[in-house]
Amino acid sequence: MTGWLGSAYLWVKAVHVIFVIFWMAGLFMLPRYLVHHQEGLPIPGEPERWIKREALLRRMILTPSLVIVWVLGLMLAVNLGLLDGQPGLGWLHAKLLLVILLSGYHGWAVGYAKKLAAGRPTLAPRTLRLVNEVPALGAILIVILAEVKPF
Ligand code: HEM
């Protein structure tokens, strides 16, 4: 593999994919926690337990994984010529757009956890369950773009 990463490229890609798995695991868990947190709001002692679990998940998994996935992903992208206008990188532009949307979803989920911590849910339980599916849909599309590179 050429480019400024040289033979380290495949190692960077391996670590990128490892932290993608961790990030996605966290992104599957947090919205599920939010459903339980919201259902538990009227039960004494429950909200405090979910606030603690959510904070731990963010500190130990979500935030570090998000940062590492972005840093390594951008290193790979620069190596492939994203900044030099290389042709054939349509898949990467589309992937970046979806990853930005997924990062926005991450931010939304953290914000909703803060609303629940303040005892102010704003979504109906059914809507909250529906938005749980967003990370799965994002992961499917992003992995197809990264692996198949259809354009
Ligand atoms: C955060 C921003 C991200 C950037 C800038 C980025 C960029 C990249 C780049 C440039 C590659 C190398 C592709 C190649 O060598 O052909 C790569 C590999 C990969 N990325 Fe990302 N990525 C990001 C996030 C993600 C996310 C969120 C996922 C999955 C949900 C993901 C899944 C993958 C996979 C599976 C590969 C391996 C593709 C292969 O087998 O060659 N990436 N990424």
What are the average pLDDT values for consecutive 10-residue runs of the chain, which has 151 residues?
A: 91 98 98 98 98 98 98 98 93 98 98 98 98 98 98 96
Determine if ligand 1 sits within 6 Å of the CB of residue 82.
Answer: no
53 part of a folded domain: yes
Nearest CA owner, ligand 1 atom 13: 146
Q: State the pLDDT at residue 85.
A: 87
Instruction: Calculate Rg over the CA atoms of the chain.
Output: 18
Determine if ligand 1 sits within 6 Å of the CB of residue 75.
Answer: no
How many residues does this entry show for the chain? 151
Ligand 1 centroid – CA 64 distance (Å): 17
76 part of a folded domain: yes
Number of structural domains the chain divides into? 1
Nearest CA owner, ligand 1 atom 10: 77
| Binding site residue list for heme | 16, 95
What's the rounded Cα separation, in Å, for the pair 10 and 151?
A: 22
Determine if ligand 1 sits within 6 Å of the CB of residue 51.
Answer: no
1 part of a folded domain: no
Residues 35-68, buried b or exposed e (16+ Cβ, 10 A)? bebbebeeeeeebeebbebbeebbeebbeebbeb
Domain, as residue range, for 61 = 6-148
Q: State the pLDDT at residue 1.
A: 64
Determine if ligand 1 sits within 6 Å of the CB of residue 101.
Answer: no
What's the rounded Cα separation, in Å, for the pair 125 and 143?
A: 29
40 part of a folded domain: yes
46 part of a folded domain: yes
Q: State the pLDDT at residue 41.
A: 98
